[in-house]
């Protein structure tokens, strides 16, 4: 099998997982600016093709939002695929090094906190759901 075709399938499945979960995919710097400058709370899932993204981060992203409190906006950028969009998003994550997969939580366009790769890798999806919901409890309104 052609490696590039295989990787395209992996990327397509990773994109589909997060979009089906209800996240808005941001593929350009302009889309990132528009989305991250919105008022309210925003969860940014920085997607990737690694095992901890597929086995932990994307399932956590999909399930954490089924909760009494959740962000106003759910968006995603794909590290290693949509490079310019990811670089633009990372400009908003002041004080945090690039990390994927990861989750950035913003309020009115300003970074509040992040769950970095080291907060995801080696943990279960349930652990990460708990970490995300803790952030939601602190910063989101009840729906």
- Residues identified as active-site: 50, 52
Query: Distance between CA 66 and CA 94 in Å, rounded?
Result: 28
**Is the CB of residue 57 less than 8 Å from the CB of residue 117?**
no
Query: Distance between CA 5 and CA 11 in Å, rounded?
Result: 10
Q: At what angle do helices 83-91 and 29-36 cross, to 10 degrees?
A: 30
Tokens of 141: 């309104």
């Amino acid at each position: 099998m052609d490696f590039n075709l295989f990787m395209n399938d992996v990327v397509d499945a990773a994109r589909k997982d997060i979009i089906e979960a209800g996240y808005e995919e941001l593929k350009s710097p302009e889309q990132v600016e528009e989305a991250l400058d919105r008022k309210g709370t925003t969860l940014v899932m920085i997607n990737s093709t690694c095992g901890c993204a597929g086995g932990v981060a994307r399932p956590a992203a999909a399930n954490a939002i089924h909760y009494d409190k959740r962000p106003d906006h759910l968006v995603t950028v794909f590290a290693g695929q949509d490079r310019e969009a990811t670089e633009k998003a990372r400009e908003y994550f002041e004080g945090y090094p690039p990390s994927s997969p990861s989750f950035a939580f913003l309020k009115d366009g300003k970074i509040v906190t992040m769950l970095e790769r080291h907060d995801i890798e080696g943990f279960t999806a349930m652990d990460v759901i708990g970490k995300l919901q803790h952030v939601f409890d602190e910063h989101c309104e009840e729906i």
